[in-house]
Structure formats: C-alpha cells, structure tokens
Amino acid sequence: MNTQQLEIEGAIRQIWRGPTVLRYTCPVCKKYLGEWDVKAGKTICWKCRKTYWPKPKVEKRDVGTGLPNLVQLKDGLREMPVD
C-alpha cells in the first residue's frame, strides 16, 4: 500500500468516526436529554412535556340512578327518553 492510499483511508476513517460525544439538548430548557428520551425519539425532555403539555384530565360523568324516567306526554302517550 502506498502513502496516498493510507492518506485516503485515514480521511475516510475520520469522516466515518464522526464526533466522539454527541449530546442532545432540550430546545425549551436547554438541558441534556436522557437516554430514554433520545431512544424514544422525543425532542423535548420529560419535565418540559409534563409542564407545558400536561395530560388531559377526564372527568367522571354522573350516570344518575340508572333507572329510566317515564314521561307522560300531553296527548296521553308515554315516552322513555334515553341518554
């Protein structure tokens, strides 16, 4: 192998190697992201997601007694409204 081939291979190795330390930062708080966030493909850390985009709270709906209501109409007919 001549010196030109060694220089070319050395340049290719440097390009393939890339940076030795690569850290991802949260664009909101500028802190480093954790391993789980990076592996999950998240770009914002869990603290900022929890603060700025909280999970919606689902309120429990009151079903009532569960018994049907019988309503007497004006023309003498009866009706059971269903929710």
The phi, psi pair for 71, rounded to 5°, reads -115, 130
Q: What is the pLDDT of residues 37-48, one digit of tens each?
A: 888 888 888 888
Query: Would you say residue 68 lies in a domain?
Result: no
Determine what percent of the chain falls in helix, strand and coil, rounding each to the nearest 5: 35, 5, 60
Tell me the per-residue pLDDT of 18-66, one tens digit each, with 9 for 90 and over.
666 567 888 889 888 888 888 888 888 888 889 988 888 888 877 666 6
* Domain-located, residue 33: yes
Domain count, the chain: 1
At 79 the pLDDT is 65
The verdict on residue 38 lying in a domain is: yes
Q: Is residue 46 one of the residues assigned to a domain?
A: yes
pLDDT in tens, 4-14: 888 888 887 87
pTM over 0.85: no
What range does the domain containing 41 cover? 22-55
